[in-house]
């Protein structure tokens, strides 16, 4: 007898695995998130409908990485905030130090998120992982990242032409192997 139900998504398992790999190897796991109405993050750090968060054990409290939701507490400007991120909104998880990780497709959301710095921004408009566009990092010991101190990100990861940013050149990854870029697997 065959079960007609569809198996659960592999995405939350990959997210947990990359997080564990980063932690085991002394790397800082960063989570890139497409923000929509269901995403509970500090809106003042959302840029172009996305935010990048430090999800290391030292920067988070009560971290729970479930199959549908990632929840934790982090400090922004010294103030503890509760965050809740739908797994389907995670566009990437990677190591800050070398950019190795995994990127995912995220469904485009028609909602609009109000960003206090730049007005209304369409959510999920593009996969923006370039260094200065990365948003903020949650860090228990420091202030949120300013645009000039944005986290090291997947700027050197190949993307499809529709996802490539046209307003700024890609930031080269000094840790990338010569003659190539780090490779990420996009999981549907």
Query: For the segment 125-168, what is each residue's pLDDT rounded down to a tens digit?
Result: 223 333 333 333 444 333 333 333 334 344 333 333 333 334 44
pLDDT in tens, 27-39: 999 999 999 999 9
Q: Structural domains in the chain?
A: 11-173+180-187 (2.30.30.220)
- Identify whether the C-beta of residue 154 lies closer than 8 Å to the C-beta of residue 32: yes
Cα–Cα distance measured from residue 180 to residue 2, given in angstroms and rounded to the nearest whole number: 44
The b-or-e profile of 59-73 (16+ CB within 10 A means b, else e) is bbeebebeeebbebe
The structure's pTM equals: 0.60
């Amino acid at each position: 007898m065959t079960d007609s139900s569809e198996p659960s998504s592999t995405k939350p398992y990959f997210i947990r695995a990359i997080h564990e790999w980063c932690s085991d190897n002394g790397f800082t796991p960063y989570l890139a998130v497409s923000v929509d109405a269901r995403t509970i993050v500090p809106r003042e750090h959302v840029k172009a409908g996305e935010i990048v968060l430090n999800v290391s054990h030292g920067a988070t409290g009560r971290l729970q990485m479930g199959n549908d939701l990632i929840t934790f507490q982090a400090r922004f400007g010294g103030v503890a905030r509760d965050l809740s991120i739908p797994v389907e909104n995670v566009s990437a998880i990677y190591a800050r130090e070398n950019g190795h990780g995994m990127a995912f497709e995220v469904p485009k959301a028609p909602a609009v998120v109000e960003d206090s710095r730049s007005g209304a921004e369409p959510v999920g408009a593009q996969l923006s992982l370039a260094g200065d566009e990365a948003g903020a990092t949650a860090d228990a010991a420091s202030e949120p990242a300013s645009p000039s101190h944005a986290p090291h990100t997947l700027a050197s990861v190949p993307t499809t032409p529709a996802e490539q940013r046209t307003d700024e050149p890609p930031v080269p990854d000094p840790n990338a192997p010569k003659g190539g870029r780090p490779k990420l697997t996009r999981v549907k």
